[in-house]
Structure 1
Amino acid sequence: MFWFGIGYLLEPIIMAVALGLFIAMAPYITRTPRGEKELKFFMFLTIVGYALILFAAYAFLTSYLGYVPSLWTFALILTGIGALQYFIAPFLINIMYRAEPAPPEIQEMVNRLAQRSGLKPPKAMIARVPIPNAFAYGNFLTGRYVALTEGITRTMDEEELEAVIGHELGHHKHNDIWLILALSLAPMFVYYLGRIMMEWGFWGSASERDRENSSLAFLVAGIALVAISFILNFIILQFNRLREYYADLHGAKVKGKKPMQRALARLHVTFENIKSNPVYQKELEQFNESPAKMLFIYAFTQTFASPYYDMDEIIERLKREETNPIMEVFMSHPPIPKRLRFLDNISE
């Protein structure tokens, strides 16, 4: 009954309210950081907001239920599921993207840039995918990986490719892989608990009239928790966007601001017409639906870019483009024009 209960009727309404809140705040929360210090300040504020809302959920829940050992059991089960995902994810990614060890020259690039980053060199992998992209993944059991798709190795020159590798090394240096996963566990717990409480409240009030007040309290509490879970997920998207700026910053530090900007601009140009190219539609859909999409250097919202484009001219054009803050609220990555403008404000 839980899966087909009142939650399916109420959830779209709750989602709409949460969306309305973030749409109203979009111009403020999607501001482009002006340099490294402001970026770190924005990340700090985002984590503080996440923690305060999570604490509010905890306080709200305990005021209704008090200390309930079974809730901790539920939390431990979900944490265990998250930990299992963390451990098996590298194997699944290797299978999903047909990733194989990269040629020695790519591994040498990774080794050289990792040394500049103060990191133990990750394993360089080539994903047998024609669409240009790159991502970082791994854990302490499997080791760390930096994967480049076949498409990106054919699209970029050496300097741009090294900037992309620098970006991915930034994700490893900043521990983004486990950090984003850890932050994602709480919204999952709050959401499923809220759904269960909504069902308890609705069906209890319908079948046990003498407990109507108690059932209504469960229903209201469940609605509130589901709303909080949506808000937490939007905050995680915001945090992930800030971490992308942070990884861009690292790529610029280890390779240079201009190569990092050229790499981002080339990725943007590459995807401008891809939706109209039927050859790549299946691959694009798989990437869009991938659970690992937060790991990519580029979030697909847009024929391969010619190496003979005047990338500096394209960079200047892209930096002048306006972006839609409302659309950005739903994105895991900042728009390329904003990433280029952010890089303008940093010192290498």
Structure 2
Amino acid sequence: MVNTFKTTLLLTLLTLLMVAMGNLIGGTTGMAVAFLMAVAMNFFSYWYSDRIVLGMYGAREVTFNDNPAFHGMIRRLADRAGLPMPRVYILPSDSPNAFATGRNPEHAAVAATEGILRILSPEELEGVMAHELAHVKNRDILVSTIAATFAGAVSMLGNMLQWGAMFGAGRSSDEDNGGHSLIGSLAMAIIAPLAAMLIQMAISRSREYLADETGADICGRPLSLARALAKLQQASQVVPMREASPASAHMFIVNPLTGGGLMTLFSTHPPMEERIRRLEAAARR
């Protein structure tokens, strides 16, 4: 409930930020055009993102005959979660990771790398795949698409505001007001897209916490997921996913991109220590 409220609040902040920038530009036409462009881009992404990302990582679909243990595990978890059976894929990567994609539970897919199938125990792997099915159950792909729509619209409005400020400031009849307007508009053009990106990443982190919680309920063993996360965090640093794209990093259960210090502010994943702490607390309850 807390994570859902936080997500709603952050989406509201993105909406207000976009409206404020539209008002600064001075009219609704530019805002409407930028928003429609962002909606069109994300509409395409929503309908075709599963094919794009699966193709990007060379995923191959597997059936029960190909891998009875893994495929059977997904079916049992989907039944527990009350979900239709998703398509199952394996990625040809030694880096241990997994993700879910698809526009809704009826058109979902879950994928795991060859690396994660090798290093996790069956109980740990079950916790990981329960986490991915939790993303499907919670419709996180829809939420992330909405967040991307607004963040993209804010970025476009920022570009419009920047060019409008530079070319429109000189036409002001009041030099001081024109200068103040130029500085304020340029500042907003820089700060607003950055704020939108941070809000979008905060939404992603919030949904990861929720997927951990829901995934632990689905598999019934929070500590199995906690152990898997700890193992994946360490192993992914030893064997990084070099083919990973920043555009799809938020989809994976652990961040396939490396970075520390200031970069943690821009991470799409919450701190691993906090995720494990919450799962251990859930196990004690």
Short-chain TM bin: 0.7 to 0.9
Q: Which residue of 1 aligns with 2:243?
A: 286
| 1: CA distance, partners of 2:97 / 2:256 | 10
The one of 13, 33, 45 equivalent to 1:73 is 33
* Contact residue 135 and residue 141 of structure 2 kept, 8 A: yes
Does structure 1 residue 154 correspond to structure 2 residue 118? Answer: yes
Q: Which residue of 2 aligns with 1:88?
A: 48
- Bigger radius of gyration among the two: 1
User: How far apart are 1:219 and its partner, in Å?
Assistant: 5.8
1:333–1:60 Cα change, 3 Å: closer
Which ranges in structure 2 are unaligned for 5 or more consecutive residues? none
Q: How does 1:267-346 map to 2 (within 5 A)?
A: 267-274=232-239, 284-287=241-244, 289-300=245-256, 328-346=264-282
| 1: CA distance, partners of 2:196 / 2:84 | 33
Does structure 1 residue 55 correspond to structure 2 residue 16? Answer: yes
Count of residue pairs the alignment pairs up: 277
The one of 189, 194, 214 equivalent to 2:153 is 189
User: How far apart are 1:271 and its partner, in Å?
Assistant: 2.7
Deviations 1:80-111 (A, max 9, x none): 01111222211222221111122412222111
Deviations 1:219-258 (A, max 9, x none): 6335314412211221221221121111111221122112
Normalising to structure 1: TM-score of the pair?
A: 0.71
| 2: CA distance, partners of 1:290 / 1:330 | 11
The one of 132, 138, 142 equivalent to 1:174 is 138
Q: Which residue of 2 aligns with 1:98?
A: 58
1:228–1:46 Cα change, 3 Å: farther
Q: Percent identity?
A: 27
* Contact residue 249 and residue 256 of structure 2 kept, 8 A: no
| 2: CA distance, partners of 1:185 / 1:218 | 27
Q: How does 1:212-291 map to 2 (within 5 A)?
A: 217=181, 220-255=184-219, 256-274=221-239, 284-287=241-244, 289-291=245-247
Deviations 1:14-47 (A, max 9, x none): xxxxxxxxxxxxxxxxxxxxxxxxxx32541353
Q: How does 1:127-146 map to 2 (within 5 A)?
A: 127-140=91-104, 143-146=107-110
| 2: CA distance, partners of 1:269 / 1:141 | 31
Q: CA RMSD in A?
A: 2.7
User: How far apart are 1:210 and its partner, in Å?
Assistant: 5.2
Does structure 1 residue 201 correspond to structure 2 residue 165? Answer: yes
| 1: CA distance, partners of 2:238 / 2:17 | 45
1:272–1:61 Cα change, 3 Å: closer
Normalising to structure 2: TM-score of the pair?
A: 0.86
- TM superposition outliers: structure 1 runs of 4+ over 3 Å: 208-219, 324-328
User: How far apart are 1:202 and its partner, in Å?
Assistant: 1.2
SS in 1 for 2:247: coil
User: How far apart are 1:172 and its partner, in Å?
Assistant: 0.4
1:335–1:140 Cα change, 3 Å: closer
Which ranges in structure 1 are unaligned for 5 or more consecutive residues? 1-39, 275-279, 303-323
